Structure 1
């Protein structure tokens, strides 16, 4: 007999209750880039006309509005050192209520692209979700307290490119969904665009799913979630240049349509059974640049296209059956949402990257070279109502990449250095507009089961209850009591009960699976076990030709091999592409600062003149033995290489084809970090003094221990400079 247990909180949260129409996601209610507000400004000025307030808060993405507050993720600084922050302002006055600042580290993203992603707000709890360029994923409460936190790069192998493109979280019922290109441990070492469904209250990974083919680039398309055909469905652009439909509750892929030779940057739109997607690169099926595509939501079947419409960055707005798209060169185009018929074009700027928002018969639109414009629009045409241009103190343009947020009679817009609140109404005006929250469809019979958590990590002797959750054919949780399952473990040690209670064992870093078998179906959960410090690894007991279990790296970058009769970890140098030339291998999740990392390191030369870079990672600081990638061999301490937030160097003429021992230690006392390193050649005594030290008055409080290498001299026909690691020690003095 099937017994119903209490339906998960997902259904309760999507029960169709009325909500004020706040701007809690970057494209507003329905993700159409449109607002029902009226009486909004036609004109304004920076000197006072229809200007409620301005603040020294620059935003690259989109601000959000919720319950009388403005929320943003932005670039800021600690003195002259760039940082990111989540900042909250009073909607009526622009005064800062709270902020949380955090460092950039271990990423190629440069300073002017900090604060790239959009925040997400859960209207039910008021929690705020943020994803920084360094991979930190936060959940804050309304007072700025951290509820939970992930480091996606160190824990899950998030891949970060130079361009700043960072994915934005979205809230769906009892989940917050985040995605990224990742290269993690085990089979997930293969790079792919992966989605993670996290419990919005705890951060637990409820589901994960790799989608699409080989990634072509990092991207930042934000998923759109709606109810369609009696089920919840999520539409999004992918890093492989395709458009996908997925179940947001389980990650199940429904369909996938190739579109672009580059990753999809703009977000998709959904309305009335149709999905709209744009891009501005070469189409996969033609040599034409750019396309606006309309797809059938249930199947991905093409309904119509506009070839050559090059809109790579800005997400169109949709209102009243009209689409408003902005091309790469700033042209605003109005089209029929049912047929794709073009009604008019208007020269609205020079470079379109911020997305337009429709409200009160107007389009609010930013222009990268430092301008905001208000345009009166209809099917008949477009008229410029207002134009404000912005300059920096040095006379250069104060650039605009942001999109507006609209609620309570106010329009909040931003440049890279300032935020402005426009309104024709009193500061304390509150709108009576409300909308129903989305309703979760009623569940049908259970069609499949999901093992949760989908990925986790524990310490020896920790216990965790794994659970089976049922979903119907449309991805709606059923709440049914699961059938009897046979639980087991693979590749890890520990005890497993018949009800799914696992107790971790062993004294080594391990990685494997917890499995649950229901009739002919086997469900898997990825599990790692990390013992307490000290930890030592000499690789002798590990399988050859694979990375160490649970370490964040791919077998295309680092594997255990033989060298002079011993096993070592070899950084490969066979692929010339930069993502494969560099190794950042994280051995455990983030640890509180105060530990040391030590390893023996051997740099293999090529043609006696090429040497690799090689070193260690501790608490998000790098010790690098600089080889021939630069002119002088030296030791370098750094945390954020593209824009050295803090850096120290000393000359150190180390030699190739010889073993060295390196040690990196980070300590924090009275708020100041001391980063210390020493390197000595094997066969000599460990020096009493540190080889190099630096102070950091805004230190990284935690981070993963890891290994670093960068190969040079790699060609398509010959290997470059490999690096060997041995006798790794992680200890807390």
Structure 2
């Protein structure tokens, strides 16, 4: 062994001992767990409560129904230390807001609330709050993913500790169904399940992904892409277990797969294609099997829906690229039951579920035999039962709520109530009470008692002890900076270089030995770099225990202007000519926009190759930006019968020139805020669009826009102004283009973002 190798090896051993000691201190410092019903699937991850003495019958507004609270919602409330937290929504039109409430669980009295407006989503009707908060068992803090994709952490008293805008920072996509599900907390990680179109060849395409944030800071720790192109929005809540010395996560995806992911590292382990559409119901673990259900067309037949059991333990070979792809030989059994989003309940040696025709079903998890079916309602969509005190508490889509005592012979219905509104979620059980949220009210049933101790079946400790470091990781793994800001490789104010053991557990900080900076950090030396220009790239850090990477995106601060003339056209374009990629720091623009030559000048052009990208929105700045003006020149191809639309995003409002409607429009969500004035566009003609957002001293706001033929004098007055009582106070600027059926190009030029004057 050379002297240099000996020194390196000794350093590695010293590092191993130090990190193991550090890790042990962290484990010993953990707090007592919080009590309550902390997430929507309950303490056993399967809709099961161990409480006893719960109600058999109740009368609405009378005995057994101590209170109800007027709040529309579509999710499961969570309960901790005598407080209930629930997501809902109130208001109509542009005054509709999502609401997070904290109530006294015994009396229903309001303790605090927080409200926010939807933005830039595709939500239709009132499909809000189709998700649930989650309570951290260590701190008692609350985590919630809003319909617009804001990942938030609150204290028990309602203080907002941190926020990540997954749409503007990670390229989260929205869908009309509005389903968000619930965050999953495991140790120091809070994991969400979203569809994103980020940047880069791997993370750029739209995929169903899992993101793990550090619960204390909101930093991205890892991301995972275990599936393929999505067919539906995600809703399946993951379940966790310890297997083979690893912490594993199982969930259905919007691409029709059931997937297994390493919950410590995000590494995809395997996937199994179950359906042609999304798998939205949550699975349950039964011994060495994972039982799952879906309500879409099956892969091997034209039948709709299936319940099946997957044998666990499969892993990819060491030299196999990507996750192992399972086939039907890994199934232990299957039956014909189908459920779109209603999740399974496991109680002992029986699985219960509600299915599309309104039946409550009982299944033997050992062989899949359907023991009985009992119809409770005409249909069922999203709601799921819970099992507690030997009874099933079953909400149905038509608003009926049933208490059922099951046996192997059938269902004994003890009580049926007709609630106001539809039931779309699962009940929560805590402290002798059962809580049910409908699209009209939040109901409490039963008499309060002491809250049970929180006992989690899937403990976050996978059973192994801390070992020597075997890999390295950068945290955050996804970084957003402005030009001129500094990135330090250190725990304070920068990127932390962490060592991991073979199980993926974080052992602490490790020193970098070599750093490969992305091109945006021109001239960076050592462990510190200053962002020099807009762009995106991978930061690589070499350590004694391996190479760690982080994705880094750099955007411009105020003011800036982009005329695209500095772009080098050296990539193949839509029509075989040479083009350039859009600025690398612009999220959601890759493959949807390209810089091309037009009549001797360079412009940003919307691509036409993929019809799925006929509507494209990209974000060009930081989500904390506010009080700015956006201006851009717009031109579209087409004819008088078929024209395109194009515009900009300003502080979470979309302002666009709509060719087919001959209009200038301001919107944020089309069913919340959408106002227009006439503006006639002609194909092949350039126009200038200018817009700004102002927030008034009283908290209200106004969005202003004007447009005129390029080269003419700017109008003195605004063409359209929209008042908003609950305005968006900040948000990233962006670009927008819509080409129906991807037939005609949209062009943007002379794009600028400047402070409001």
Short-chain TM bin: over 0.9
Distance 1:231 1:186, change over 3 A: closer
Q: Which moved more, 1:686-695 or 1:723-732?
A: 686-695
The alignment status of 1:672 with 2:688, answered yes or no, reads no
1:361 is matched with which residue: 384, 390, 394? Answer: 390
Give 1:462 deviation, angstroms.
2.4
Correspondence 1:383-532 to 2 at 5 A: 383-391=412-420, 398-423=421-446, 425=447, 427=448, 429-435=449-455, 438-441=460-463, 442-459=465-482, 460-465=484-489, 466-479=495-508, 482=510, 485-494=513-522, 496=524, 498=526, 501-506=527-532, 508-518=533-543, 522-532=547-557
The answer to whether the 8 Å contact 1:547/1:553 transfers is no
Aligned residue number for residue 323 of structure 1:
351
Aligned residue number for residue 394 of structure 1:
none
SS at match of 2:66: strand
Aligned residue number for residue 689 of structure 1:
717
1:14 and 1:656 mapped to 2: Cα distance?
A: 68
2:362 and 2:476 mapped to 1: Cα distance?
A: 45
SS at match of 1:233: strand
TM-superposition CA deviations, 1:637-670 (whole Å, max 9, x none): 11211x1x23332111222211111111011121
TM-superposition CA deviations, 1:596-641 (whole Å, max 9, x none): 11111111124x432111111101112121111x3xx111111211
Aligned residue number for residue 37 of structure 1:
51
Correspondence 1:195-344 to 2 at 5 A: 195-299=210-314, 302-344=330-372
TM-superposition CA deviations, 1:307-326 (whole Å, max 9, x none): 32111211110011111021
1:238 and 1:201 mapped to 2: Cα distance?
A: 27
1:5 and 1:331 mapped to 2: Cα distance?
A: 58
The alignment status of 1:639 with 2:671, answered yes or no, reads no
Correspondence 1:157-176 to 2 at 5 A: 157-176=171-190
The answer to whether the 8 Å contact 2:433/2:444 transfers is yes
Give 1:71 deviation, angstroms.
0.8
TM-superposition CA deviations, 1:311-344 (whole Å, max 9, x none): 1211110011111021111211111222222222
State the superposition RMSD in angstroms. 2.2
Give 1:519 deviation, angstroms.
7.7
1:623 and 1:19 mapped to 2: Cα distance?
A: 48
Give 1:19 deviation, angstroms.
4.0
Aligned residue number for residue 192 of structure 1:
207
Paired residues, number: 707
TM-superposition CA deviations, 1:134-185 (whole Å, max 9, x none): 1111111111111111111111110111122224211111111112111122
Give 1:590 deviation, angstroms.
1.4
Give 1:303 deviation, angstroms.
4.3
Give 1:522 deviation, angstroms.
4.2
SS at match of 1:155: helix
2:153 and 2:643 mapped to 1: Cα distance?
A: 43
Distance 1:520 1:318, change over 3 A: closer
Give 1:589 deviation, angstroms.
2.4
Aligned residue number for residue 139 of structure 1:
153
The alignment status of 1:535 with 2:557, answered yes or no, reads no
Give 1:216 deviation, angstroms.
1.8
TM-superposition CA deviations, 1:502-544 (whole Å, max 9, x none): 33232x3221121123589643211122332111111122243
The answer to whether the 8 Å contact 1:601/1:725 transfers is yes
1:687 and 1:524 mapped to 2: Cα distance?
A: 50
Q: Which runs of 5+ in 1 are unaligned?
A: 392-397
TM-superposition CA deviations, 1:97-129 (whole Å, max 9, x none): 111100011111124210012211102111111
SS at match of 2:485: coil
Distance 1:404 1:251, change over 3 A: same
The answer to whether the 8 Å contact 2:345/2:351 transfers is yes
Aligned residue number for residue 550 of structure 1:
585
Aligned residue number for residue 372 of structure 1:
401
SS at match of 1:527: strand
2:649 and 2:659 mapped to 1: Cα distance?
A: 17
The answer to whether the 8 Å contact 2:225/2:268 transfers is no
Give 1:17 deviation, angstroms.
7.4
Task: State the TM-score, normalizing by the size of structure 1.
Answer: 0.92
The alignment status of 1:77 with 2:91, answered yes or no, reads yes
Q: Which runs of 5+ in 2 are unaligned?
A: 1-9, 315-325, 490-494, 569-578
Correspondence 1:29-108 to 2 at 5 A: 29-77=43-91, 81-108=95-122
Give 1:484 deviation, angstroms.
5.1
Distance 1:243 1:206, change over 3 A: same
TM-superposition CA deviations, 1:226-255 (whole Å, max 9, x none): 222332111111121111111112101111
Aligned residue number for residue 591 of structure 1:
624
Q: Which moved more, 1:449-458 or 1:13-22?
A: 13-22
Give 1:729 deviation, angstroms.
0.5
Distance 1:13 1:97, change over 3 A: farther
The answer to whether the 8 Å contact 1:559/1:571 transfers is yes
2:80 and 2:625 mapped to 1: Cα distance?
A: 34
The alignment status of 1:565 with 2:600, answered yes or no, reads yes
SS at match of 1:435: coil
Aligned residue number for residue 114 of structure 1:
128
2:513 and 2:268 mapped to 1: Cα distance?
A: 25
2:107 and 2:562 mapped to 1: Cα distance?
A: 57
Aligned residue number for residue 658 of structure 1:
685
Distance 1:254 1:371, change over 3 A: same
Correspondence 1:621-636 to 2 at 5 A: 621-628=653-660, 630=661, 633-636=662-665
Distance 1:389 1:477, change over 3 A: same
2:626 and 2:473 mapped to 1: Cα distance?
A: 36
SS at match of 1:154: helix
SS at match of 1:30: coil
SS at match of 1:153: helix
Aligned residue number for residue 395 of structure 1:
none
Q: Which moved more, 1:190-199 or 1:443-452?
A: 443-452
The alignment status of 1:25 with 2:52, answered yes or no, reads no
The answer to whether the 8 Å contact 2:657/2:664 transfers is yes
2:23 and 2:547 mapped to 1: Cα distance?
A: 26
SS at match of 2:665: strand
Aligned residue number for residue 348 of structure 1:
376
The answer to whether the 8 Å contact 1:14/1:438 transfers is no
Give 1:575 deviation, angstroms.
3.5
TM-superposition CA deviations, 1:254-302 (whole Å, max 9, x none): 1111111101101111232321111011121233321112122322673
2:674 and 2:252 mapped to 1: Cα distance?
A: 38
The answer to whether the 8 Å contact 1:617/1:664 transfers is no
Aligned residue number for residue 318 of structure 2:
none
Distance 1:203 1:417, change over 3 A: same
The alignment status of 1:723 with 2:750, answered yes or no, reads no
1:605 is matched with which residue: 635, 638, 650? Answer: 638
Aligned residue number for residue 573 of structure 2:
none
The answer to whether the 8 Å contact 2:234/2:280 transfers is yes
Distance 1:80 1:189, change over 3 A: closer
Aligned residue number for residue 698 of structure 1:
726
Aligned residue number for residue 620 of structure 1:
652
TM-superposition CA deviations, 1:192-242 (whole Å, max 9, x none): 112211110110111122221121221211111222233211111112111
